[in-house]
Amino acid sequence: MGSSHSSCSLTPTHSTKHFYFSPSPIAPSKLYPNQNQIRNSINFKLQPFLFSSSSSSQVLPLKCRKAAEFETQAKSLKTMADVHGIDQELLQEMVYDALVWSSLHGLVVGDRSVKRSGEVPGVGLSHSPIALLPGLFPETHWNQACELSSIFNELVDRVSMDGKFLQESLSRTKKGDAFTSRLLDIHSKMLQIDKKEEIRLGLHRSDYMLDDKTKLLLQVELNTISCSFPGLSCLVSELHRFLLGEYGEVLGLDYKNIPENYAANQYAEVLAKAWTEYNDPSAVILFVIQAEERNMYDQLWLSVNLRKRHNIKTLRKTLAEIDREGVLRSDGTLVLDGQAIAVVYFRAGYTPRDYPSESEWSARLLMEQSSAVKCPSISYHLVGTKKIQQELARPNVLERFLDSEEDIAKIRKCFAGLWSLDDKDIVKKAIETPELFVMKPQREGGGNNIYGDDVREALLKLQEEGSEEDGAYILMQRIFPSVFPTIFVRDGICHKDHAVSELGIFGAYLRNKDKVIVNQQTGYLMRTKVSSSNEGGVAAGFAVLDSIYLT
C-alpha cells in the first residue's frame, strides 16, 4: 500500500544473510573501461516529474571522473542542508553511478509508457524513482519506531481475535462504505462458521512522520495488507551506502550512518516459516496480484528469495484467476494449478479497484474459507482500517487488548489526533480550520485523502446531505514534518527541490496456536516527496524511495 498521509539498527541473524549481488562497492569506472563512449551515446528525454512544481528539473550530461578528482572543487557537506550546493560535475557523476547501480541490481519498476510492462517481466523497465542521497533522521526516533514494531504486531493479533469489537466499531462505516461492508460480510461469515485460524501471519508496516513543531514521532497509519517495497527498499539503502562509499569523503558523509536493511530477506524468511508450520512440503505460496503490476519486481525479490534460500515455489494469480481456477477440497485445502496452497500472500485486494466484479469477491471468500495461512486474514485486514486506528486511539481502548502499561504508554505517545465524524465539536473545528486536519476514507494505496479547503467542502456536503456516508471517514490531525532540500531522480532526470519524508517500519508476526514463532521488526521503508505534495504513494507517482542517515 502506498502512503496515505503527508501525512534498530537491522543486524542480520545467523540465518539472515545479505543476498545482494556485490557485498562491496564496485565503481562503474572499474566495470566499464569505455564508459566515456557509453555515456556520451546516451540521450535522456527531458520531461518533468509527475509532481514537479516551480523548482528546476534538468537533464544531466553524462561524464566520467573518479570522486577524488572533485576534491578541490566539491563542497563538503557538513549537513544535508547543503545538498543543493553539490558541485554540478560531481552531481552528474553521482547520478550516472546511481542509474548504473540501480539497473544492475534490480532497483527497477515497470515503465507506464510501455503497455506490457505490468504484465511481462523484463519488458519496459525503468529505474525506481529515488532520492539521490539519504535523508536525515534522528537516531532516538529511529530506535523508538523500531521498538514500537513488536508492540503493534501483538496489538494487531489481539484486536483481530475480537470479532465483536471489529464488527461494532465498523458498523457505521459499513453503512457508508460499500467496500468495507463487503469485507465485513466475509468476516461475519467466518464468525458464523467459527472459522479457526490456528496459524496467524502478519506482515505489517507502521508509517510515521516526525512533527516539526513538537518533535514527536507520530503514526500516520498502520498497514496490515499488501505492505509494499520490502524488496526495493533494501536496494535503496544499499545504493545509498554504495554512493557514500564512493563519494562520502568528498561529501563529508559516512555510509555507516545508513542502517542496513534486510526487509526482503526477513519477509521471505517469515513467509517460509509460515509455510513450514502449514506442514505440507509439496504445497506452494500464492501471491495474489493485480492484473497489471508495474511494481512486480519488488514482489519478485521475495519469490526469488523463497525459491533460492528456502526451496519454496510460488504462484502469482489475480483474484479473477483464483476464482476461475481455484478448488477447495473437502478438508479445506485450496488448490491452484494442481498444487496445494500453504500461504496466501496478498499484494492486491486492498482497494475497490481490485474487485471489478463478483468473481473477485468470490475468490476472496474462497481463500478465507480455506485452510491456507492468510497474510492477512480478513480480521487482520480489518484491523488496518482507518476507523479501527481511530477507535484504538480512544481512551481506555488499548487497555482492552494490551496488558503492559509501559507498552500502552509507548503506543499512545505516537498517536496523532484521531476523531470520528460523529464528534460535532471536532467537525466544527475542522470546518473552521481545515488546514489543521486530514479527512481519510477507508482506502489504501495513496491519492485518497482530503486536504485543505476540500476538507471544509466535504464536511459541509455531508452535513447537508444528512446521510450515513460520514461513517466512511475519520478526521486526523495533520502532521507538519520538517522540510529539507533533496535531489530527486526519476526517469533519469535530476530534480532539486524541498521535501518531506515518511518512515515505514516493517514488522512480522507469526503464531501457531499459543506459540509465538516470530514477533520482530524486519526492515524499513523511507519515502520522500516534494513538500508541496499532499499525497505520498510511490507507485501512485507522488513520492520516491529513500533511505535514512542517522543523526
Just list the catalytic residues: 205, 221, 223, 228, 386, 440, 444-445, 527
Residue 30 has a CB neighbour count (10 Å cut-off) of 9
447 is known to lie in a ligand binding site: yes
261 is known to lie in a ligand binding site: no
Q: What is the CA 308 to chain-centroid distance, rounded? A: 24
538 is known to lie in a ligand binding site: yes
- Phi/psi zone of residue 146: left (φ > 0), alpha (ψ -120 to 50 degrees), beta? alpha
* Cα–Cα distance for residue pair 547/136, rounded to 1 Å: 9
477 is known to lie in a ligand binding site: yes
Of 313, 242, 325, whose CA–CA distance to 281 is shortest?
A: 313
295 is known to lie in a ligand binding site: yes
Long-range contacts of the stretch 478-481 (C-beta < 8 A, 24+): 478/7, 478/435, 478/436, 478/437, 478/438, 478/451, 479/5, 479/7, 479/209, 479/211, 479/218, 479/220, 479/416, 480/211, 480/212, 480/213, 481/7, 481/209, 481/210, 481/211, 481/212
Long-range contacts of the stretch 334-339 (C-beta < 8 A, 24+): 334/286, 334/366, 334/367, 334/370, 334/371, 334/372, 336/286, 339/282, 339/283, 339/284, 339/313, 339/315
440 is known to lie in a ligand binding site: yes
446 is known to lie in a ligand binding site: yes
Instruction: State the residue for C-alpha cell 514463532.
Output: 517
443 is known to lie in a ligand binding site: yes
527 is known to lie in a ligand binding site: yes
349 is known to lie in a ligand binding site: yes
* Cα–Cα distance for residue pair 180/213, rounded to 1 Å: 35
172 is known to lie in a ligand binding site: no
Q: Are strands 135-137 and 548-550 parallel, antiparallel or unpaired?
A: parallel
330 is known to lie in a ligand binding site: no
Of 63, 461, 31, 23, whose CA–CA distance to 242 is shortest?
A: 23
42 is known to lie in a ligand binding site: no
448 is known to lie in a ligand binding site: yes
Residue 528 has a CB neighbour count (10 Å cut-off) of 25
451 is known to lie in a ligand binding site: yes
293 is known to lie in a ligand binding site: yes
Q: Please state, in angstroms and as integers, the Cα–Cα distance from residue 123 to each residue in 110, 116, 128, 289, following that order.
A: 7, 7, 15, 18
350 is known to lie in a ligand binding site: yes
535 is known to lie in a ligand binding site: yes
Q: What nine digits make up the cell of 94?
A: 553521482
According to DSSP, the residues that pair with 317 across neighbouring strands are 288
Q: Are strands 437-441 and 373-375 parallel, antiparallel or unpaired?
A: unpaired
221 is known to lie in a ligand binding site: yes
* Cα–Cα distance for residue pair 28/22, rounded to 1 Å: 13
Q: Are 350 and 343 in contact (CB under 8 A)?
A: no
205 is known to lie in a ligand binding site: yes
Q: What nine digits make up the cell of 301?
A: 525479490
476 is known to lie in a ligand binding site: yes
167 is known to lie in a ligand binding site: no
Of 95, 87, 35, whose CA–CA distance to 490 is shortest?
A: 95
- Sequence-separated (6 or more) residues with CB below 8 Å from residue 324: 359
Secondary structure (DSSP) of 77-108: -SSGGGGGGS-HHHHHHHHHHHHHHHHHHT-E
- Counting every residue written for the chain, the total comes to 551
Q: What nine digits make up the cell of 516?
A: 509465538
200 is known to lie in a ligand binding site: no
Instruction: State the residue for C-alpha cell 532539486.
Output: 496
- Is the omega angle on the peptide bond into residue 281 within 30 degrees of 0, that is, cis? no
209 is known to lie in a ligand binding site: no
332 is known to lie in a ligand binding site: no
Q: What nine digits make up the cell of 243?
A: 554512493
509 is known to lie in a ligand binding site: no
* Cα–Cα distance for residue pair 401/288, rounded to 1 Å: 30
257 is known to lie in a ligand binding site: no
379 is known to lie in a ligand binding site: no
Q: Which residues are annotated as a binding site for ATP?
A: 221, 386, 440-449, 451, 476-479, 502, 529, 535
Binding-site members for Mg(2+) are 221, 223, 444
Which positions make up the binding site? Answer: 205, 221, 223, 225-228, 293-295, 299, 347-350, 386, 440-449, 451, 476-479, 502, 527, 529, 535, 538-539
Binding-site entries for substrate: 205, 225-228, 293-295, 299, 347-350, 527, 538-539
